[in-house]
Amino acid sequence: MVKYLFILLFSFSAFLLNAQVINPKHTFNIELGLPNGFVNKPFKNIMQGLVNVAPYYQYKLNKQFVVGLGVRYAYFAINEFKVPKPTYGGMHSGGIFVKAGWERFHTEHFATEIGLKFGYTQNYFVTDRNDSLGLNPVQVNSTYLEPSFGLILTADERSSYRLVVSYAFQGFGFRPDLIGLETFGGYNPADFNKVTSFLIVGFGYTYYFKSKN
């Protein structure tokens, strides 16, 4: 999958011969990716990432350093083949974040960015089993940390596209009882204390607001 994402992103380079140098102060950005669980074994096996989206405003402090503010949403569905009893539903995760980053244009058309989003999320586990227990939804609040790396190609002086790879850390450990299961599901309870985290691979779009002279 990652191979095809790289091919698609760099196909834009064929249209960049007439691109201009851009160095705006204000931008609107949106990132859309596919999240995949890591580290916490129950979360990795049981919860299947479907979408992660993050729109945000960004301001460039100088030629390379940027800061931003935005919101994010992710959804993970329960993999019905990985639970001991039929369970349907998923986890909705929404939050706000502040971003700090380093962005550098290496040529007129190509730039790289290293960033860090950090903030707060509310996670809602909505399942049929929680509903039968009168606990729907089960809510878990947590801190949020997401380092990222982006490859950026300009389309014109007002927009660019990027390939983004990031790794998100949620400040809680996933447990089967959050989705209404009454057993450990064959997992070692020690795994429940491991941080809930996921790798995100996706695309981003940036709109550059015209700078005032």
CA dihedral for 150, 37, 1, 55, sign (positive or negative): negative
Q: Where are the beta strands (DSSP E) in 135-179?
A: 138-156, 159-173
Predicted TM-score (pTM) of this structure = 0.86
In the chain, % helix, strand, coil (3-state, to 5) comes to: 15, 60, 25
What domains lie within the chain, and their CATH numbers?
A: 2-12+25-208 (2.40.160.20)
Q: Which residues of the chain have pLDDT under 50?
A: 2, 4-5, 9, 12-20
* Whether 146 contacts 119, CB under 8 Å: no
C-alpha span between 194 and 41 (Å, rounded): 8
Amino acid, single-letter form, for residue 65: F
pLDDT digits (tens, 9 = 90+) for 44-84: 999 999 999 999 999 999 888 999 999 999 999 999 999 98
